[in-house]
Amino acid sequence: MTKEILKKLVDVAAGRVPADLVIKNCKVVDVYSSKIIEGDIAVVEGLIAGIGSYQGKETIDGCGKYATPGFIDSHIHIESSYVSPEEIGRLLVPHGGTCIIADPHEIVNVCGINGLDYMMEAAKNTVLDIKYMIPSCVPCTPFENAGAIINAKEMKEPILRDNVLGLGELMNFPGVVAADSDILDKVMVAKESNKLIDGHSPSLFGNNLNAYASVGVRTDHECATVEDLEDRISRGIYVLLRQGSACHDLRNLLKGVTKENSRRCLLCSDDRQPKTILELGHLDNHLQICVEEGIDPITAIQMATINAAECFRLNDRGAIAPGLRADIVLLEDLKDFKVTNVFIEGKEVARDGKYLLETKKYDTSSVRGSMHVKDFSIEKLKLNLKSNKVHIIDILPGGVVTKKSVAEITLDENNDFVFEEEKDIVKVAVIERHKNTGNVAVGFLRGYGIKKGAVALSVAHDSHNIIVVGTSNEEMTLAVEKLIEQEGGVILVKGNEVIESMPMPIAGLMSDQTGEWVDKKLTSLHEKAYKELGIHGNVEPVMTLCFMSLIVIPEIKITDRGLFDVLKFDFISLEAE
């Protein structure tokens, strides 16, 4: 801010000169004192000059609506929406979103710091203020091949960038508790830079939670119970109440939110797919749920605004008060939280659910062409088993946790697997796509329900190699080959034909199309997966499959290096004996 702008701000606040914009006749939600103030909001140079009686060069009649600070999503992975940063801005802003704290964990695992560079540049093309965290786990584990290795030394430059707030979710909580040297080096990068540390500590309690909190962990979005919430708040950790497309923790955790602890609670999505945004909204939906569960509306708004601003040291926002950014949302009421107008830095950027600005896209060439697959062929999917008794990944309904089982399968004359529909067992394979290693690991999956064809994805948490499941080697091979051709995404194959596909050329993780396009494609993919391939109706075809390689979630998963027993934390053979 220049002295000239400062003087103008003071003059407008004092009423000596007209404001750039005055929003008249509104009920201002005062998140500091939990009150409603009636009056005009004066805006100049993108800042709030004051609340009172003002004249402006431009006037908007608030028509008695409620004015709140802009909503801040305290933790989200843009890549999990399958759209680019510019597009997520277009989708979220009409719902009152003015700022998000994004962890680009997925793209950095594929593209390294180059992926972060792309995300930061693309973010400049949306008025949504996107703040980033540096992913702390690249790769997520040493038991698979990711696209990059980011150690403490490589974090030192990017963590100093203006729009980078700190170290992303510290998922290696066992390493923190054990005082692992490499993990502590990363923590020290954040501390020495005076940046924040985002947490991730499911099922951690007692002295282990004390050890985790002691390094300065600021937040945690992995609380599942009220006890988890209370344990973390008592240790000085802000709790992010999550309501995403995959995980729905908000209603349960709200049972633990009280008048005394609410200021240590924030709202977050973690992941939010276009379908969820288009049908339910964003933090406006979180606020609806809060009020439905008996939370005072102003308390709920505090969790979406000032609490997040204070937690992440965003001292220029979070409230409607003199000198702060003019990020303002107008609501029809404090029950349904229908957003009618959104202002970012004093400019009206959304009205009645419509984004008012042109969406410009940043060049994606630096993060395209991410499918580096060596010598893949049908031969790599064929097995020569010594026994027909094998380890099985059993899908458990309603989540991403799996069960390790043993089953007997039928073998052909070459000792390869023979698919039998009544057994509901199929091959699953992971193909390395980052370093041309040629790695292909094959296992068995039960409970997916597929009766014909194959499904292949390039989104496979957390290293995002190719994962494919199918009823025949031929269909699985075609699915993988076509996925490589379209630079990643999702492929459905039946017989010798691709019956549906969704290209995701941005690092094999995101589409370069609109959210509406992605929503229609996902809807079509799901319909054909159920109707034509026979996948079980209680299984989400894409999301379920993409978590079958996430080896930090029990009991058994598969990576490009083989079948992995999460409880033993080691690889196991395909044969059970």
Residues 296 and 380 in one domain: no
Same domain, 116 and 171: yes
Assess contact for 36 and 59: CB atoms under 8 A: no
Give the rounded percent of residues in the chain with a pLDDT score beyond 70: 100
Q: Tell me, yes or no, whether 422 lies in a domain.
A: yes
Query: When comparing pLDDT for 246 and 23, which is higher?
Result: 23
Looking at the fold, whether 219 and 336 belong to one and the same domain comes out as no
CA angle, residues 308, 164, 547, in degrees to nearest 5? 80
Residues 564, 478, 538: CA angle, nearest 5 degrees: 60
Q: Are residues 46 and 123 in the same domain?
A: no
Give 144's DSSP letter: S
Mark whether 3 and 105 lie in a shared domain.
Answer: no
Q: Do residue 544 and residue 561 come from a single domain?
A: yes
Please name which of 297, 232, 302, 231 lies closest in space to residue 262, comparing C-alpha atoms: 302
Neighbours of 340 (CB within 10 A): 18
pLDDT band at 577 (very low <50, low <70, confident <90, very high): confident
**Angstrom distance (rounded) from CA 358 to CA 236:** 42
Give the domain CATH number at 264: 3.20.20.140
Which residue, 544, 573, 103, 507, is CA-closest to 553? 544
Task: Enumerate residues 6+ apart whose C-beta is below 8 A from 154.
Answer: 113
Long-range contacts of 520-525 (CB under 8 A, 24+ apart): 522/82, 522/273, 522/274, 522/275, 523/275, 524/500, 525/490, 525/492, 525/500
Which residue's entry shows tokens 């203006």? Answer: 162
Q: Which domain holds residue 379?
A: 368-572
Identity of the amino acid at 303: M
Q: What percent of the chain has pLDDT over 90?
A: 95
Same-domain pairing of 30 and 104: no
Q: Which helix (H) or strand (E) holds 411?
A: strand 410-411
Give pLDDT, residue 114: 97
**Whole-number pLDDT of residue 194:** 97
Cis check: omega of the bond before 61, within 30 degrees of 0: no
**In this structure, how many other beta carbons lie within 10 angstroms of the beta carbon of residue 369?**
12
Domain membership of residue 361 (yes or no) is no
Q: Does residue 359 belong to any structural domain of this protein?
A: no
Give the model's pLDDT for residue 569: 87
Residue 362 falls inside a structural domain:
no
DSSP state at residue 305 = T
Q: Is residue 564 part of a domain?
A: yes
Predicted pLDDT of residue 417: 97
Tell whether 355 is covered by a domain.
no
Averaged confidence pLDDT in the chain = 96
Is pLDDT of 552 > 90?
no
Q: What value does the CA radius of gyration of the chain take, rounded to a whole number of Å?
A: 25
Please determine, for residue 398, whether its predicted confidence score (pLDDT) is greater than 80: no
Confidence of residue 278 (pLDDT cuts 50, 70, 90): very high
Q: Say yes or no: 65 and 209 in one domain.
A: no
Q: How far is CA 256 from the centre of its chain?
A: 24
> How big is the CA angle at 500 (ends 497 and 506), to the nearest 5 degrees?
120
Q: In terms of domains, do 455 and 547 share one?
A: yes
C-beta of residue 45 within 8 angstroms of C-beta of residue 10: no
Q: How far apart are CA 573 and CA 337, in angstroms?
A: 54
CATH of the domain at 340: 2.30.40.10
Q: What's the total number of domains in the chain?
A: 3
Q: DSSP state, 14? A: H
CA distance 159 to 189: 8
What global pTM score does this model have?
0.95
Check pLDDT > 90 for residue 64. Answer: yes
Determine the pLDDT at residue 247.
85
Whether 451 and 492 map to the same domain: the answer is: yes
Helix (H), strand (E) at residue 478: helix 473-485
Mean pLDDT score, 277-284: 97
What's the confidence (pLDDT) of residue 400?
80
Separation in Å, CA 577 to CA 390, 407, 557, 573: 8, 11, 19, 9
What is the pLDDT averaged over residues 450-457? 98
What's the token pair of residue 379?
A: 């031969």
Per-residue CA distances from 352 to 27, 329, 497, 515 (Å):
18, 11, 43, 18
Cα–Cα distance measured from residue 178 to residue 29, given in angstroms and rounded to the nearest whole number = 45
Give 501-533 pLDDT, tens digit per residue: 999 999 999 999 999 999 999 999 999 999 999
For residue 243, give every residue at least 6 positions away whose Cβ sits within 8 Å of its Cβ, in sequence order, or none.
249, 250, 267, 268, 269, 285, 286, 289
Residues 548 and 502 in one domain: yes
523 and 440, same domain (yes or no): yes
